[in-house]
A = this chain, B = another copy of it.
């Protein structure tokens, strides 16, 4: 079920700036029944990102009501909230009084593979690199062609994700998940000041981990890590089994973060 500006509807104006310019942002939120354990973090990022993009900040209480309406009676839903700068005059200039478009859509939670949580996933080392743009870095905005091109680099269904670097060869993230490496026993996650999306589960882990470093992570150092795992607010904590030809085993930090994920109220599909 989908609501556009509060109305059950599945279309938007072909003149919406979200379509014309990718002028907007989104959140993808996992629900367990009527509960979204990371809701407040999603709202925090949404608010912060709206301010950075000069979009009107929607009322979280309104979004919550619309989320529940869109979810209906789905037991396991993924909710996508999309906010755009709406319809305006032609051209890049922001409308003086922006009328944002608000799309709240619920989808059935896709089936997850228990083996992925237990044994880990395989990553493609992507040749597509992320461009650096500090003004957009961290924001889950609608300009996602880089991720589309990176994801198109493989179609082997045994490969779950891709590992993306920036132009300097620093590991940044997967196409749709954040990245953690455990190096000499210390969890490290790439700094996202120049590119990448600052994931909501990543923010959660940065508080949950007793010790963690946020810094540049050259690919070679990343591939030399003792353990590697991905964080996604929809898929949870996924140990990495292989990145290119380099093999890894699920390690204690990934297992601890999986336990933390379960503690948040997400299902037990994770081994």
Contact = CB atoms under 8 A, between A and B. Distances in A.
A222 B84 CA distance: 35
Interface in A1-34: 2, 4, 9-23, 26
Copies of this chain in its oligomeric complex = 2
A152 interface: yes
Contact count band on A = 35 or more
A14 B26 CA distance: 13
Contact of A16 (B19, B53, B141): B19
A103 to B, nearest CB: 5
B128 A146 contact: no
A105 B128 CA distance: 33
Contact of A146 (B4, B19, B129, B135): B135
A131 B128 contact: no
Contact of A22 (B14, B144, B176): B144
A151 interface: yes
Nearest to A104: B14
Given A20-B142, A21-B142, A148 B94 contact: yes
A10 B21 contact: no
Interface in A75-122: 78, 80, 82, 84-85, 90-94, 103, 105, 107, 110
B21 A145 contact: yes
A169 to B, nearest CB: 14
Which residue of A85, A92, A110, A136 has the most chain B CB atoms within 10 A of its CB atom?
A: A92
Nearest to A152: B94
A211 to B, nearest CB: 32
A4 B167 CA distance: 38
